[in-house]
Amino acid sequence: MTSIDEHYGHFSHLDSILNTIRQAYPEGPSPFQLAPIDQLHIGGIKASERLLKRITNAGRILEIGSGLGGLSRLCYHNQHKAALYVCLDITHPLNKLNSTLNQLTASHCSSVLTADGQSLPFNDDSFDYVVMQHSLLNIPDKNKALQEISRVLSPNGQLILHEVLKGSNYESMQFPVPWASQPDHSHLIEEEALLSLLNEKGFVISSIEDWTQEALLWRTRQTAKANKVQKPSLTPALVLGPNFSVMGSNVQKNLADSAIRIVEVVAVPE
Ligand SMILES: C[S@@+](CC[C@H](N)C(=O)[O-])C[C@H]1O[C@@H](n2cnc3c(N)ncnc32)[C@H](O)[C@@H]1O
């Protein structure tokens, strides 16, 4: 079995990724131009814009499993320049590239930290928002992670999850997918199990939306783009490796076959 670091840490070629970005965008890339490599979730930058509407004031934001930090730069660019935004991720090479992208774009407000979402290095009541975008799906001990989130979130805070769940036909699930080369790294659960865990940890659900149909349309458009003769210079394969085209078409199949679902859940402490 490969480690989660091996799955996400294809960064012996960090310099070549930076050169590709510099050549494509010598003036410095915008969040929209970086989206093919730093919005590593189903739905891309549009889904992030939709999620960020939930963040209504520039408070203290913790993103767990922030990857390359696309959401944090978009948050800064689109709405909250004064937010105190912490990007936390377990994969150190992703964090290094996230910090470098921050310098390259000069549009950021985040600090970047390598840590495990199952053991958060913060005091109680440290954040107004905790956000997870396609990262709970990699976390084996959700009980521990949600316990930690409930501890660090302020009593008036909000937990915002944009996640992949098991669909009604999960038995047909195909691997590899962008978050797991093999089943061992994929920790999907059903909606009922997620809601019951949130409830156990003292959360009340303030909103739940199913984004599966939009996600399928988005993934279908991405496949069409990738099949064009003139390939874009920035693609998720730069980060997720040459197997990305198989991962992308498996996501499309899994969505179409109801093996997976995409939801946004907003939960608040009781
Ligand atoms: C599918 S990627 C999503 C990245 C980012 N949220 C995005 O949407 O572009 C999942 C991320 O979760 C991170 N991750 C996995 N397990 C984690 C853990 N236990 N604690 C913190 N981050 C974790 C991975 O390193 C990876 O960056």
Who's near 226: CB < 8 A, 6+ residues apart?
A: 235, 245, 248
For residue 8, how far is its CA from the centre of ligand 1 (angstroms)? 9
Out of 99-108, 129-138, 204-213, 261-270, which region has the weakest mean confidence (pLDDT)?
A: 99-108
Nearest Cα residue to 237 out of 228, 225, 246, 229:
246
% residues pLDDT > 90 (the chain): 76
For residue 230, how far is its CA from the centre of ligand 1 (angstroms)? 30
Residue 71 pLDDT: 97
Cis peptide before 176 (omega within 30 of 0): yes
Residue 1 pLDDT: 47
pLDDT class of 111 with cuts at 50, 70, 90: very high
Residue 39 CA: nearest ligand 1 atom is: 9
- Residue range 163-172, pLDDT digits in tens: 999 999 999 9
For residue 41, how far is its CA from the centre of ligand 1 (angstroms)? 10
Per-residue H/E/C for 62-111: EEECCCCCHHHHHHHHHCCCCCEEEEEECCHHHHHHHHHHHHHHCCCCEE
| Pocket test residue of 89, 148, 149, 160 for ligand 1, highest count of atoms within 8 A of CB | 89
pTM for the whole structure: 0.95
C-alpha–C-alpha distance, residues 87 and 108, integer Å: 11
For residue 68, how far is its CA from the centre of ligand 1 (angstroms)? 9
| Pocket test residue of 135, 141, 188, 247 for ligand 1, highest count of atoms within 8 A of CB | 135
Average pLDDT over residues 221-227: 86
Return the C-alpha torsion angle 205, 146, 59, 111, nearest 10.
Answer: -150
C-alpha–C-alpha distance, residues 18 and 21, integer Å: 5
Nearest Cα residue to 148 out of 173, 166, 114, 124:
124
pLDDT class of 5 with cuts at 50, 70, 90: confident
Average pLDDT over residues 133-138: 98
Residue 8 CA: nearest ligand 1 atom is: 25
| Pocket test residue of 138, 175, 185 for ligand 1, highest count of atoms within 8 A of CB | 138
Q: Any residues with Cβ below 6 Å from ligand 1, and which?
A: 4, 8, 39-41, 64-67, 70, 89-91, 94, 116-118, 133-135, 138-139, 178-179
Strand ranges across the sheet with 84-89: 110-114, 84-89, 60-64, 127-133, 153-166, 260-269, 203-210
For residue 229, how far is its CA from the centre of ligand 1 (angstroms)? 31
Average pLDDT over residues 155-177: 98
For residue 138, how far is its CA from the centre of ligand 1 (angstroms)? 7
